[in-house]
Amino acid sequence: YRLLEEKLSRALINRSEQISFSDKVRAYIGANIPENFPSQEEVAQHFCLSVSGLKNRLKKEGSTFRKLVDEKRFKLAEQFIKNEDRSLKEIGYELGFSDQSAFNRAFKRWNGLNPGQFRSTETTDN
């Protein structure tokens, strides 16, 4: 038992060293979405960093906090839009957009289609 426990501990340490800081932040953002998208300050505090420290660590890996939040929002938006039970307005609100037009602009920036067009193509493809 102790031998297995020791091997597991070493494997976990090695695994955590292989995970990029950006991936850790992505995971934290994803884990906290049911309540809301965490702010940059909340994420920095979670990792015991200042906001500028968070920005610098992400910048070293070629990322930004906004980019990570946008990636997560886009993935969720695609999932939510495919589920026709929710209105596009409701989806935009759930993803933290101030209004429907802000959600439409962001989705078009991410995907090239507005949410309604995306929903139409998804329902005709299935």
Domain residue spans of the chain: 2-63, 67-125
Between 6-20, 32-46, 64-78, the lowest mean confidence (pLDDT) is in: 6-20
Instruction: Report the mean per-residue pLDDT for the chain.
Output: 86
pLDDT in the model for residue 107? 94
Q: What is the DSSP letter of 39?
A: P
Q: Given phi > 0 = left and psi -120 to 50 = alpha, else beta, which region is 38?
A: beta
The verdict on domain 67-125 having CATH code 3.40.50.150 is no
Burial of 49 (0-12, 13-18, 19+ CB in 10 A): middle
CA–CA separation, 73 and 109 (whole Å): 12
Tell me if 22 sits within 8 A of 7, measured CB to CB: no
The per-residue pLDDT for range 41-77, each reduced to its tens digit, is 999 999 999 999 999 999 999 999 999 999 998 999 9
6 or 92, which is more confident:
92
Q: What is residue 78's predicted lDDT score, i.e. its pLDDT?
A: 92
Give me the pLDDT at residue 84, please: 82
CA distance 114 to 104: 6
Q: What is the pTM of this model?
A: 0.74
**Cα(54)–Cα(29) distance, rounded to whole angstroms?**
14
